[in-house]
Amino acid sequence: MLEQFAPAKVNLTLHVTGQSANGYHLLDSLVMFASAGDHLTFEPADELSLSVDGPESGAVPTDGNSVLSAAHLIDPQKSAHIHLTKVLPVASGIGGGTADAAAAYRGLLKLWGLPDAVPNAETFAHIAKLGADVPICLFSQTARMSGIGEKIEFMPELPALDAVLINPRVEVSTPAVFKSISSKNNASMGTIPSNFIDQVEFITWLQHQRNDMQDAAVSIAPVIEHVLAALSATQNCQLARMSGSGATCFGVFPSAETARNAALQISRDYPHWWVKSCTLGA
Ligand code: C5P
């Protein structure tokens, strides 16, 4: 059976550098993909349909889903049955629906015998019709994203990171967070060094970067500050920051074992939060 993995997208940095004439915001973001994510399978069928299961399937619509929009974007005449196993929380800043749409696009091209997408400006502009974050998710590789999300520069040389993802079970509206940002003209990341000697040097550089949506998201959902504090309070946490427009936050740890231990401790202390240890950029 044809399968695709839809990894969580983590914005290690997210600088808001301006606003374009159509109201969309200009971003400068370093994105890595996680070993945690949703799973999709694809089968030939007489109609286009979607079924969903998995621990996070409760809030997922089977009509009007981003997965079906991806099918329509390729060819509204074609059919398939798609099954989605939902592991990532919805509307959570780690690209759940976005990653699913990108994975559906990849899977359906294969199922329908069409050529794989090639990473060029035309592809990114086309797939951006499904959402500003879909282009970065199409190839699931560490990349710098700019423009409103359609400019992608792959950065394969960056060290992988061990991390913990936490969602406090609060849905945050992306447009509402964008509206609440106090300053929309912030500095970009500048040049990202390509020769970090090790993980520690990379993390030190990350500590000097920002998520410019974080304060605005905290003002809407104060529990995000609580999540960041819980991560920072664990032993060995080297960096705690929000991803995307929230509410999911990530913590970076020196090893897979320290990340797993932190995830266990936080799951025990906050049993209603969604907590996952994972590797980023591997
Ligand atoms: O394109 P997408 O549906 O993912 O975006 C959701 C909303 O987030 C948009 O309607 C827009 O209000 C906001 N957005 C933005 N600037 C971006 C991406 C999204 O203002 N670069």
* Each residue's pLDDT tens digit, 225-246: 999 999 999 999 999 999 999 9
Domain boundary at 130, 154, 178, which? 154
* Each residue's pLDDT tens digit, 206-221: 999 999 999 999 999 9
Ligand 1 shell residues, CB under 6 Å: 24-25, 27, 131-133, 148-149, 174-175, 178
**Number of domains the chain is built from:** 2
CA distances for 64 relative to 69, 149, 264, angstroms: 7, 22, 36
**Ligand 1 atom nearest to 149, measured from its CA:** 21
Tell me: pLDDT of 123 over 90: yes
Residues 97 and 146 in one domain: yes
Residues 206 and 228 in one domain: yes
Give burial (CB, 10 Å; 0-12/13-18/19+) of 1: exposed
Q: How confident is the model at residue 194 (pLDDT cuts 50, 70, 90)?
A: confident
Residues 8 and 48 in one domain: yes
Helix H, strand E, coil C: the string for the chain is CEEEEEEEEEEEEEEEEEECCCCCEEEEEEEEEEEEEEEEEEECCCCEEEEEECCCHHHCCCCCCHHHHHHHHHCCCCCEEEEEECCCCCCCCCCHHHHHHHHHHHHHHHHCCCCCCCCCHHHHHHHHHHCCCHHHHHCCCCEEEEECCCEEEECCCCCCEEEEEEECCCCCCHHHHHHHCCCCCCCCCCCCCCCCCCHHHHHHHHHCCCECCHHHHHHHCCHHHHHHHHHHHCCCCCEEEECCCCCCEEEEECCHHHHHHHHHHHHHHCCCCEEEEEEECC
Residue range of the domain that includes 74: 2-154
**Ligand 1 atom nearest to 147, measured from its CA:** 21
Residues 16 and 135 in one domain: yes
Residues 167 and 137 in one domain: no
CA distances for 94 relative to 1, 9, 34, 171, 225, angstroms: 27, 5, 9, 12, 17
Nearest-CA residue for ligand 1 atom 13 is 175
Nearest-CA residue for ligand 1 atom 9 is 175
C-alpha 256 – ligand 1 centre gap (Å): 33
Cα–Cα dist 282/261, whole Å: 20
Instruction: For residue 129, indicate whether it is catalytic.
Output: no
* Each residue's pLDDT tens digit, 245-275: 999 999 999 999 999 999 999 999 999 999 9
Residue partners of 97: CB distance under 8 A and separation at least 6: 65, 66, 90, 91, 131
C-alpha 24 – ligand 1 centre gap (Å): 6
Residues 125 and 29 in one domain: yes
What confidence score (pLDDT) does residue 173 get?
Answer: 94
Residues 78 and 106 in one domain: yes
Residues 173 and 241 in one domain: yes
Say whether the peptide bond before residue 247 is cis (omega within 30 degrees of 0). yes
* Each residue's pLDDT tens digit, 86-98: 999 998 999 889 9
Which of the following is catalytic: 28, 38, 100, 133? 133
Residue of 278, 4, 276, 9 lying closest to 142 (CA atoms) = 9
Residues 140 and 214 in one domain: no
Instruction: For residue 133, indicate whether it is catalytic.
Output: yes
C-alpha 264 – ligand 1 centre gap (Å): 34
Cα–Cα dist 182/116, whole Å: 41
- Please say whether the beta carbons of 252 and 13 come within 8 A: no
C-alpha 245 – ligand 1 centre gap (Å): 10
What confidence score (pLDDT) does residue 88 get?
Answer: 95
Q: Is the dihedral of CA 87, 90, 93, 97 positive or negative?
A: positive
Residue partners of 120: CB distance under 8 A and separation at least 6: none
**Ligand 1 atom nearest to 245, measured from its CA:** 8
Residues 9 and 123 in one domain: yes
Residues 192 and 267 in one domain: yes
Residues 9 and 92 in one domain: yes
Domain boundary at 103, 132, 154, which? 154
ipTM for the whole predicted complex goes beyond 0.90: yes
Domain boundary at 154, 182, 212, which? 154
**What CATH number is attached to the domain comprising 11?**
3.30.230.10
**What CATH number is attached to the domain comprising 217?**
3.30.70.890
